[in-house]
Amino acid sequence: MTLARPPGTPAAPAQAQPSGPPIKVMIVDDSVFMRGILSKWLGESGEFTVVGTHPNGRRAADDVQSSQPDVVILDLEMPDMDGLTALPLILERKPNTAVLVASALSRRGAEVSLRALTLGAADYLPKPDSARGPVAAEEFRAELLAKARSLGQRVRRRSMPRPPVGSPAAGTPAAGTPTTTPAAAPLRISGLPKTDGKLRAYSRMPPALLAIGSSTGGPQALTKLFADIGPFIGRVPVLVVQHMPPTFTAILAEHIARASGRRCAEGRDGEDLVAGQIYVAPGGLHMDVVQSGGVSRIRLMDTAPVNFCKPAVDPMFESVAGIYGAAALSVVLTGMGSDGARGALKIADLGGSVIAQDEESSVVWGMPGATAAIGACAGILPLVEIGPRVNRLLTGGRE
């Protein structure tokens, strides 16, 4: 994607036109203008067909079984029935549907969006700032198409019947061998060859820092992960980069604090890293780590996007690799694109441990899939297994 991006929101690389049928999309928004412009953009792309447009959540919930959308673009602020009320009804009546919620770039919008994610929405779509005119509209269009495409493709893959285990199509991996070949090929990274999927050994050095990167589906995954690891992170500082715009990252930090029972806030430039505390990269700024006199500190940078993202995971991982080496433990969670893979490879090459979320439990297996594809991982695990594995490593367990 060559278009400019809103701070903190990722773009996906350009995709080839799909060979299968168009992705079916339902649009739910009380604005006639928004319903019209979204329908126009989706139709012009050639990748989507709009199967329904509705002015409120009630009509959408009543129609979802009939129209059978792959993706629902759901406004959260509507009369009669708002998006939060309609969301569980939509998912109950059409479970294999990806709901992309749309909200304003405000504290209220961030709070409602994150609430929707906890109720089962797959991702969020910040509405453009009208004061920025055509530039904001074009950015919003790029974001809409990238996320609807990625989520729709995931729904299609998961709707396909799977061959029986042990059949020639499924393959017959040896007992205890991790499955690293995804249903959809992970992203390749220019200049880095794809490996054969072999896993590395975990570091024998106790972790001195935990670094986590995530994007699409990340808020839900982070909540689950921190609920699992909160009691065990007292000995290490924790850094989090989630692709999000400003305001949203501050609300995310509050959610993580509640889930973990630990202090969590956006990182501040020059702030010393303290064991047991969680630092979230602020939307619109890169966050990495610098060291002086044996003390590690946060550094915030208002520089160009990396991998179309700001904040980006790679700068944080690369700084962690240089300072902590084999004492670094990193986790790459669900997300679109390949951000974090290069930095994860540096951590692994310097002896640190990298864990990636597996394809089945990821909303989008882009970032963790790319990390797996270049051979950086010591583990490729379902989300429910990542927390226990991190806890064992933090408490001196060996893998």
Query: Catalytic residue at 196?
Result: no
Asked whether the beta carbons of 256 and 278 are under 8 A apart, the reply is yes
Q: Which of 75, 339, 353, 361 is catalytic?
A: 339
Asked whether the beta carbons of 86 and 30 are under 8 A apart, the reply is no
Q: Which of 103, 150, 203, 215 is catalytic?
A: 215
Phi (first) and psi of residue 50, to 5 degrees: -85, 115
How far is it, in rounded angstroms, from Cα 322 to Cα 328? Answer: 10
Stated length of the chain: 399
Query: Catalytic residue at 255?
Result: no
Angle of the 341-349 helix axis to the 313-324 helix axis, nearest 10:
10
State the virtual CA torsion across 111, 112, 113, 115 in degrees, nearest 10.
90
Asked whether the beta carbons of 270 and 34 are under 8 A apart, the reply is no
Question: Can you give the C-alpha Rg of the chain in angstroms?
Answer: 21
Which residues does residue 331 pair with via DSSP β-bridges, in sequence order? 212, 355
Q: Which of 63, 123, 228, 243 is catalytic?
A: 243
Query: Catalytic residue at 339?
Result: yes
Asked whether the beta carbons of 341 and 371 are under 8 A apart, the reply is yes
Which helix or strand (DSSP H or E) is residue 264 part of? Answer: strand 264-266
C-alpha 274, offset from chain centre: 26
Asked whether the beta carbons of 276 and 394 are under 8 A apart, the reply is no
DSSP-based helix, strand, coil % in the chain, nearest 5: 35, 20, 45
Mind telling me the catalytic residues? 215, 243, 339
